Structure 1
Amino acid sequence: MFDRRFAIKAFGLAGASGMLPRRLLAQSPSSVAGEWQSLFNGRDLEGWTFFHDKVGDRDVHRVISIDQGILHFLGPKFDRAQKSTMGHIATTKEWSNYHLRLDFKWGEERYSPRSLQRRNSGILYHMGPERDRLFPDCVEFQVEEGDVGDAIMVNTKGLQGPLLGGTPLWPNWIQALPKIYDEPQAAGGIARQWFRHAGNYENLTGWNTLDLYAIGDQAAHLVNGRIVLTVFSMIDSHSTADKAKPVTGGRIALEFEAAEVMFRNVRIRQLDDALIARLKQG
């Protein structure tokens, strides 16, 4: 990641023109092009697959409960004798060029193997169509106490938007910046890059709103209305310097990772060409 002072010195006001326009962030969902639709219907998992690591694709241990439109992972109904506490639900449909918005809130329970660790979850996006498995190839919008908004590239690569004036670069990459990918860290058969967020806006005790803008091979992560991280030029980890395979879309998943967590108001809207052009004008 580039040093902020270097970027400011080199590019001056370029960062200001590259940030997401405040007028677009402040608009209500109904006032911008693209109709919002619910990804989670508030009743059941229609349109989603279920995966419980070491268990399978059926929720036989009551991982999920749904009440008054709230999706509850590892809540009071969960079979606490069950040692496997990780998995996800994933959309059956693949998405690209979209704006995802949802609310999340932590519960109190933590489970083995992370009973003493920070509560953890995540939004996985640009997942491939392969069979569900733990930690599939994807980009993760990290949802972990203290790390909400981080990006974890799982068998994918990206360029983190540098901080210009303390704010992650968005929506246009500055062509004068070199495009050099950090080497992923390999462990357990998975290669990861981990990009850290700028600014901590998470509420530990109440509801939080997360926004994900996924436009082509780039994305922006927002926490409670603040842009905290951006990723550009996302590619498949098997890409080579002379033959890059862009990562631009895929399935979307919500994780449970040994901690009680709740989601609601899971909505998505397709970004049409006109709105993408407006966003990229700065």
Structure 2
Amino acid sequence: MLDRRSAMKAFGLAGMSSMLPLRLLAEPPGRSAGEWQSLFNGRDLEGWTFYHDKVGDRDVHRVVSIEQGILHFLGPRFDRAQKSTMGHIATTKEWSNYHLRLDFKWGEERYSPRSLQRRNSGILYHMGPERDRLFPDCVEFQVEEGDVGDAIMVNTRGLPGPLLGGTPLWPNWIPALPTTYDQPQVAGGIARQWFRHSGNYENLTGWNTLDLYAIGDQAAHLVNGRIVLTVFSMINSHGAADEVRPLTGGRIALEFEAAEVMFRNVRIRQLDDSLIARLKQG
């Protein structure tokens, strides 16, 4: 990955221009991009599927509780005698070219097998249709203490945006940059690439706002209003070579991974062609 000095020397104003859309991204786009709509209605899981690893598609152990519009995973009502503590809820609808925004906050509880580890959750996006797998093919917007904003490519691949001018490249890939995908690490039958965030803006004790811009085969991760990671040229690489294709859409999921976590204000809006064109002008 390029450091600041070498990137600025090699690309000059290209690095500076990559920062210009930050101001645009930090504020919601105009009405022409479409109205915000709620993905979570604050009452129940209408529009979502549920999956509890080793249990199934019914919440028989009270993983989910909903109070005052807050979605609460593994809270006080959870059956603590239940050994399985991982799973997700996922939208029934597939999404592409969108801006997702939500708030999250950690609870206090951690469970086996991670009772001594960092609290962990995540947003899965561009997820495949599988409804009975803990980790379907997807991209993960990592939500873990100290790693909020990382990207984990799960049976998918991408090119991480290099640091130009001190912030991850966005929104255009510079032709002079490498286009070769790193080899993933394979464990448990899953191939993963892990791209690290730049800048730590997470609040460990209160609410945090996360934004995801997914545009074609690229994405930007924002934590409390700052871009911390970008990824380009995403592909669905799981399967035969002739099945590799650009990864541009899919379902969206919220994970529970052995730690108490809360979500609220889960909203989304489509990005129209005019706004995407503005973003890509740099």
Q: TM above 0.5, one fold?
A: yes
TM-score by length of 2: 0.96
Matched with 1:194 is 194
Alpha-carbon distance, 1:281 to partner? 1.1
Partners of 2:117 and 2:26 lie apart in 1 by 35
Matched with 2:227 is 227
Secondary structure of the corresponding residue to residue 124 of structure 1: strand
Secondary structure of the corresponding residue to residue 24 of structure 1: helix
Partners of 1:106 and 1:7 lie apart in 2 by 37
Secondary structure of the corresponding residue to residue 245 of structure 2: coil
Aligned residue type for 2:93: K
Could you tell me which runs of 5 or more consecutive residues in structure 1 were left unpaired when the two chains were aligned.
Answer: none
What RMSD, in angstroms, separates the aligned Cα atoms of the two structures?
A: 1.6
Secondary structure of the corresponding residue to residue 250 of structure 2: strand
Matched with 1:276 is 276
Secondary structure of the corresponding residue to residue 249 of structure 1: coil
Aligned residue type for 1:135: F
Q: Write out aligned runs for 1:84-233 (5 A).
A: 84-233=84-233
Alpha-carbon distance, 1:20 to partner? 5.3
Q: Deviations 1:84-118 (Å, cap 9, x if unpaired)?
A: 00000000000000000000000000000000000
TM-score by length of 1: 0.96
Aligned residue type for 1:161: G
Aligned residue type for 2:103: D
Contact 2:97 2:271 in 1 (8 A): yes
Alpha-carbon distance, 1:23 to partner? 3.7
Alpha-carbon distance, 1:242 to partner? 8.4
Partners of 2:244 and 2:20 lie apart in 1 by 27
Contact 1:4 1:162 in 2 (8 A): no
Alpha-carbon distance, 1:240 to partner? 7.9
Matched with 1:72 is 72
Percent of paired sites with the same residue = 89
Choose 172-181 or 5-14, whichever is displaced more. 5-14
Alpha-carbon distance, 1:180 to partner? 1.0
Secondary structure of the corresponding residue to residue 213 of structure 1: strand
Alpha-carbon distance, 1:241 to partner? 8.0
Aligned residues: 282
Partners of 1:92 and 1:20 lie apart in 2 by 35
Aligned residue type for 2:215: I
Distance change in 2, residues 1:53/1:228 (3 Å):
same
Partners of 1:210 and 1:32 lie apart in 2 by 22
Alpha-carbon distance, 1:238 to partner? 3.6
Partners of 1:260 and 1:29 lie apart in 2 by 32
Matched with 2:255 is 255
Distance change in 2, residues 1:246/1:20 (3 Å):
farther
Alpha-carbon distance, 1:239 to partner? 7.2
Aligned residue type for 2:259: A
Partners of 2:111 and 2:30 lie apart in 1 by 39
Secondary structure of the corresponding residue to residue 234 of structure 1: strand
Could you tell me which runs of 5 or more consecutive residues in structure 2 were left unpaired when the two chains were aligned.
Answer: none
